[in-house]
Structure 1
Amino acid sequence: MEVSLLSLVMGSITSATIGAAARLGVADALEDGPATGAELAKTVGADPDALESLMRAVTALGVFARDEEGRYTNSPLSEQLRTDHPESIRHLTSLLCGLYAQAASGGLTQAVKTGTSVMPHAFGVSLYEYLEKDAETARIFDLAMQDWARPIGAVLAEHVPFENVRTVVDVGGGNGALLKAILSAHPHLKGVCVDRPDTCRRAEAGLRASGNEDLIERLSYQPSDILREVPEGGDLYIIKNVLHDWSSESGVRILSNIRKAMCAGADTGSTSKLLVIDPLKEHDSGAAFRNVIKMVVGEPNTLERSEADIRREAAEAGLQVLSITPCPADLSVAECVVAESA
C-alpha cells in the first residue's frame, strides 16, 4: 500500500485525536449503547460542536462507529479504550498521545542534535520531576504503566513456578499491577512493590480505597531509589520495562543493587532469582519507534538492548543469566541468579 508523506505527517493529528477521545472517556460513555454527539458531550463534559468534530474524525479512522440513525457506537478498536476492558489501553493511549507526543513535538529535534533526553528540552525537567509537579499526569502515567503490565502479568502468573516462592519483589513496579495479577493467582504469596515515593503513596492509597482486603494484607509498597538500594527479603525479584529507560552504566548499577538484596538472604538458606523483563532487539518488532520513546522520557544514551547486552550487564553486576525467553508485547524474560564468583 502506497503511503504519502503528507499522510505520515498528519499522523500526529491522528494520534492527538484518538488521545483526546481516550482522555475524555468516550468509550466508557458508549458502553451502555449508542449516543448522539450532543448526548456524548453532556456525558463527558465537552462542547457539543467540538466533540462532534472529534467524533467524526475518530469514526473516519475506524476507531469508533456510527449507526444508521447517526448515533455513535463503540467499535472493536474503541472497546480497548474502555477503562474496564480486560485489554484496556485507555490510559496508555492518553499518555502516548498526550505527554509523550507533546514532549516529542517540543524537544525531539534539539534532543537529536545534542544526543540528550527530550523532556528537559521540552519542559525544562526530567520525566519524573515533571510527574511530581503534575498530579493528573502522574495519575495517568501510573494507570498507563498498569495497561502496559497487564498482559505480561497474566503470563507470569500462569507460567512461572511459584511453589517455592514466598515473597515477590517488583523493582520499579509502579502501582503494583504486575504483582496484583501474580498474587491473585497465587494466594500463598506476598508482594513488595518498589518505586518512587510519590508513586508508592498514590498506589497504596488506591489499593486501600479498593477495599480488596486480601491484597491489602499481602501487597505492600516500599519507596526506594533503585540506583542506590533495593529492599531485601525477596525469594523472587522482578524488574519489568525499567532497564530500557536507563543507560548501560545505570542498568548495571540497578542490577548490582538487586544482586546485593538477593545475596542478603543467602545466610538464611534462601536462593533468590531475578526475572529481567524488557524488550530486546532479537524479539522486538517495534524497536525503531521504541528507541524514539526512550529518547523522549529516558536517560541519555539509552538504546535497545540485545541478548548479549543483557548478559554482559548482568555479568558486570555479579549475576548469571540462565535463560532468555520471548514473551507477549515484544518483551523477553531473562532468568538470572547470583553468579558463583560474586
Structure 2
Amino acid sequence: MEVSLVGLSVGTWIASSLGVAARLGIADALAEGPATGAELAKAVGAHPDAIPPLLRTLAMVGVFGQDEEGRYVNSALSEQLRTDHPQSLRYLCALTGGLYFQASGGLFDAVRTGRPALPSVFGVPLYEQLERDPETAAIFDRAMEDLARPVAAALAEHYPFEGVRTVVDVGGGNGALLKGILAAHPHLHGICADRPEVCGRAEGELRRSGDQDLIDRLTFQPIDVFRECPPGADLYVLKNVLHDWSSGSAVRILSSVRDAMRAGAEQSARPVLLVIDPLVEHDAGAAIRPLIKLVIGEDRTRERSEADLRKEAAEAGLEVLSVTPLPPELTVAACALAD
C-alpha cells in the first residue's frame, strides 16, 4: 500500500484487523496449508463473509496472502502470528490491536490535557482494567511473554550465572523470562513476583504443564511491587516495568527491590539488580514511545535517559554499575546497593 494520507488514515483498521486475526488464531489455522474463507471461518469460529475482507486488508501490508486458487495462506509476516513460532508475536498483536487500540480512542483528549488516554476511556488505569477483564488480562500475560522470550535467550547466553543461585523477576508476569533462563541453567531457582491474580493464573498454567523440573525450580509470589519484594536472592530483574511509571513511582519500585536486597545481603555476597528497560540513548522506538506512554502509561510518565535512571537509582539507594544496550530497543543497567 502506498504511503498517502488516505493510506495512513486507515492504518487504524489495519491495526485492528491484525489484532482480530491474532486473537482468532487464523495463522494457526493456516499452519497445515491453504484454506478457503469458509474453511477458516469454521476453524476459528467466525462468519464466512467476514474472513475475506479481513485477510485481504491485511494482505495489502504483507500479512497473509492467497494462492492461485484464491485460498488463503500464511506469509512470512503472518507466520509470526502462529502460537508455536519461536519468535511469535501473536498475543502482542492481539493486545496492541485490541485493548491498546481501544485506548487510543481517547488520544484526542490526552493530547489536549496531557493526561493518559486509557483511564479516560475505561475509567480506571491499565492494571485495574485488566483485573476487570480476565480474558484481556490473559492476552496481556501472553503478550508480555512474547516480549520476554528474546530477552530471556540473550540473558541466558550472555549473563554470568555461575555464582547465582536464586533469581527474582519483579513484575515477571507468567514467568516467561525465568523459564528461559532456568531452562539454560539447571542449577538456578527462580521466583516470579507479580500481582496476586497474575501469579494465580501463571501458577495454574505451570501446574497444568506437567513440567516437574520447572515446577520444582520456579515459584510464584504475589506482591505489591511498591511495598515488598522477596528477599534473599542473588539476582533481581526488573524487565519492561519502570517505563510504565512516573519517576516518583519508579523510585518507589526500586526502593522496594533495594529493601529486599538489603534484607538478603547476608545470604548473597552482593545481590545485583538488572533493570532492563528502554533508554532514549539506545531505543529504536524512541520516536513513538512517548505517544505510547500518553495512551497507556501512568500520569506524568515520560521516556527515560541513562541520566534519569541513574538519578532514580541513587534516590532509591542503589548504584548503577554498568549500562549495556540490548538490541534493538532495550538497555540492561546492572545495579547494586550503594555504599
- TM-score tier by shorter-chain length is over 0.9
Other-structure match for 1:122: 121
Kept in 2, the 8 Å contact 1:265–1:271? The answer is no
Query: Letter of the aligned partner of 1:210 in structure 2?
Result: S
For 1:113 and 1:200, locate their aligned partners in 2 and report how far apart those are by CA, in whole Å: 37
For 1:154 and 1:198, locate their aligned partners in 2 and report how far apart those are by CA, in whole Å: 26
Q: Deviations over 1:274-297 (max 9, x none)?
A: 100000000112122222222222
Other-structure match for 1:59: 59
* Alpha-carbon offset, residue 329 of structure 1: 3.7
Other-structure match for 2:82: 82
Structure 2 matches for 1:41-190, cutoff 5 A? Answer: 41-105=41-105, 107-190=106-189
1:225 aligned counterpart, secondary structure:
coil
1:48 aligned counterpart, secondary structure:
coil
Kept in 1, the 8 Å contact 2:234–2:268? The answer is no
Kept in 2, the 8 Å contact 1:244–1:302? The answer is yes
* Alpha-carbon offset, residue 113 of structure 1: 2.1
Change (3 A) 1:167 1:98: same
Kept in 1, the 8 Å contact 2:232–2:268? The answer is no
State yes or no: 1:24 paired with 2:33. no
Q: Deviations over 1:134-174 (max 9, x none)?
A: 11101100000000111111000100001110000000001
**Structure 2 residue ranges without an equivalent (≥5):** none
1:101 aligned counterpart, secondary structure:
helix
For 1:269 and 1:12, locate their aligned partners in 2 and report how far apart those are by CA, in whole Å: 50
Q: With the length of structure 2 as denominator, give the TM-score of the two structures.
A: 0.97
* Alpha-carbon offset, residue 269 of structure 1: 5.1
Change (3 A) 1:241 1:269: closer
* Alpha-carbon offset, residue 191 of structure 1: 0.3
Kept in 1, the 8 Å contact 2:284–2:328? The answer is no
Q: Deviations over 1:39-68 (max 9, x none)?
A: 111111111111122122222321111111
* Alpha-carbon offset, residue 2 of structure 1: 7.6
1:142 aligned counterpart, secondary structure:
helix
Query: Letter of the aligned partner of 2:124 in structure 1?
Result: V
* Alpha-carbon offset, residue 203 of structure 1: 0.5
For 1:156 and 1:192, locate their aligned partners in 2 and report how far apart those are by CA, in whole Å: 16
Kept in 1, the 8 Å contact 2:144–2:173? The answer is yes
Other-structure match for 2:259: 260
For 1:45 and 1:268, locate their aligned partners in 2 and report how far apart those are by CA, in whole Å: 53
* Alpha-carbon offset, residue 253 of structure 1: 1.1
For 1:57 and 1:86, locate their aligned partners in 2 and report how far apart those are by CA, in whole Å: 26
Other-structure match for 1:9: 9
Other-structure match for 1:197: 196
**Identity of matched residues, %:** 64
For 1:140 and 1:93, locate their aligned partners in 2 and report how far apart those are by CA, in whole Å: 10
Kept in 1, the 8 Å contact 2:233–2:268? The answer is no
Other-structure match for 2:38: 38
* Alpha-carbon offset, residue 255 of structure 1: 0.7
Structure 2 matches for 1:297-312, cutoff 5 A? Answer: 297-312=296-311
For 1:196 and 1:73, locate their aligned partners in 2 and report how far apart those are by CA, in whole Å: 40
RMSD: 1.3
2:97 aligned counterpart, secondary structure:
helix
State yes or no: 1:286 paired with 2:262. no
Kept in 1, the 8 Å contact 2:232–2:265? The answer is no
Q: With the length of structure 1 as denominator, give the TM-score of the two structures.
A: 0.97
For 1:196 and 1:269, locate their aligned partners in 2 and report how far apart those are by CA, in whole Å: 26
For 2:2 and 2:30, locate their aligned partners in 1 and report how far apart those are by CA, in whole Å: 34
State yes or no: 1:318 paired with 2:317. yes
Other-structure match for 2:226: 227
For 2:268 and 2:154, locate their aligned partners in 1 and report how far apart those are by CA, in whole Å: 29
Kept in 2, the 8 Å contact 1:103–1:296? The answer is yes
Query: Letter of the aligned partner of 2:127 in structure 1?
Result: Y
State yes or no: 1:242 paired with 2:266. no
* Alpha-carbon offset, residue 83 of structure 1: 0.4
2:238 aligned counterpart, secondary structure:
strand
* Alpha-carbon offset, residue 217 of structure 1: 0.6
For 2:54 and 2:95, locate their aligned partners in 1 and report how far apart those are by CA, in whole Å: 18
Query: Aligned residues, how many?
Result: 339
For 1:95 and 1:293, locate their aligned partners in 2 and report how far apart those are by CA, in whole Å: 13
For 1:313 and 1:157, locate their aligned partners in 2 and report how far apart those are by CA, in whole Å: 27
Kept in 1, the 8 Å contact 2:91–2:143? The answer is yes
* Alpha-carbon offset, residue 115 of structure 1: 2.0
1:95 aligned counterpart, secondary structure:
helix
Moved over 6 A (4+): none
Query: Letter of the aligned partner of 1:250 in structure 2?
Result: S
For 1:295 and 1:174, locate their aligned partners in 2 and report how far apart those are by CA, in whole Å: 23
